[in-house]
Amino acid sequence: MSEKPNTVAIGAFVIGAALIAISAILFISGSGWGGDKNKVVMVFEGSVKGLTVGAPIALRGVQIGQVTNIHLIFDTDSIDITMTVEAEIDGNRFETRGKAAGYLGDEMIARGLRAQLNSQSMLTGLLYIQLDFHPNTPANIVDIDSPYSQIPTIPTDLQRITRELESMDFAAIAEDIQTIADSLAVFVSTKEFQQLPADLHNTLASFESLSDQLNVQMASSGPKLDKVLDETYNTMETLDSELPKISASALQTLKVLDAAMLAFEETIQEIDDLVSDDSATTYALNKALREISLAARELQLLAKTLEEHPEALIRGRSEEDE
């Protein structure tokens, strides 16, 4: 009698362990995307009004699952309310390829997979969950007690705009606007601003007068300018027609000058040869210069003698003079 309870207890323990093992295998096999059914959880900030159980879940517009449960978690310590949405992803709705085809959840989240509330219809106000990749957004994982994989969420465009508006200091903005308005009122009441229309009118009148003067001057200068332009055009045509002739004449003149320079260089060379120290011409010139110098000395002596003794022309030189 004492062995029967032990057998029943052992059998119950074995059956319980088997059920736990089967449940664990089913959970592990369904934790990644690509199987038949995969449970996920998402945490949204703010209101989820319009999101109902059975609402579709779409990946880039293609429905791949539906919402299965919506929970409210109230934190008594922080007095915060967390909205958790559980959903079921149908892995048969898409095909997986590659080496990591057996598990896709964490990989897709790491690559930027995010969940966002979108409107099904503006008329009904119903919402659905749109899954898409936003790699530049943070993967905010909320610490909740759930056995399912958590997909990070991002706020809707309306929620983002609302947050930006809430963060704005409208009181400071209103104060700045009031300060600007007061400054404008002071400026408008100044004498300078009151005088501005008259100054502007005078300026416009001056511009108008200047414009009239310019028109008169242009009217009087127009014929003269046309004449100058015509003469300039004629001069340009004359230059265009005569330029080849002038160029040819200048080229011929340059050739003549080149020949003259060559002849001049040859003459200089010949003169240089004549006046060189060892040339016959130089020797003859030196001899002639010496003879001329001697004759000049004799003439100088004769002139001196005649100056002292003019009678020498009649009676000749005396022995004393000699």
Note the pLDDT of residue 162.
Answer: 66
List, in sequence order, every beta strand (DSSP E) within the chain. 37-44, 56-59, 62-75, 80-90, 113-119, 127-133, 149-150
Note the pLDDT of residue 192.
Answer: 77
pTM score, whole prediction: 0.43
Q: What is the pLDDT of residues 87-132, one digit of tens each?
A: 998 878 777 776 655 455 778 888 889 999 998 888 888 999 999 9
Answer yes or no: are the C-beta atoms of 281 and 288 closer than 8 Å.
no
Note the pLDDT of residue 258.
Answer: 81
CA gap 111, 61 in Å, rounded:
18
Measured over the CA atoms of residue 174, residue 176, residue 182 and residue 185, the dihedral's sign is negative
Give pLDDT < 70 ranges for the chain: 1-36, 98-104, 159-160, 162-163, 166, 272-279, 306, 309-322
Q: Is 94 helix (H, G, I), strand (E, B) or coil?
A: coil
Q: What angle do CA 39, 44, 46 make, to 5 degrees?
A: 155
Nearest to 111 by CA among 131, 84, 90: 131
Q: How far is CA 214 from the centre of its chain?
A: 43
Note the pLDDT of residue 85.
Answer: 92
Answer yes or no: are the C-beta atoms of 120 and 127 closer than 8 Å.
yes
Note the pLDDT of residue 129.
Answer: 92
CA dihedral of residues 272, 273, 275, 281 (deg, nearest 10): -160
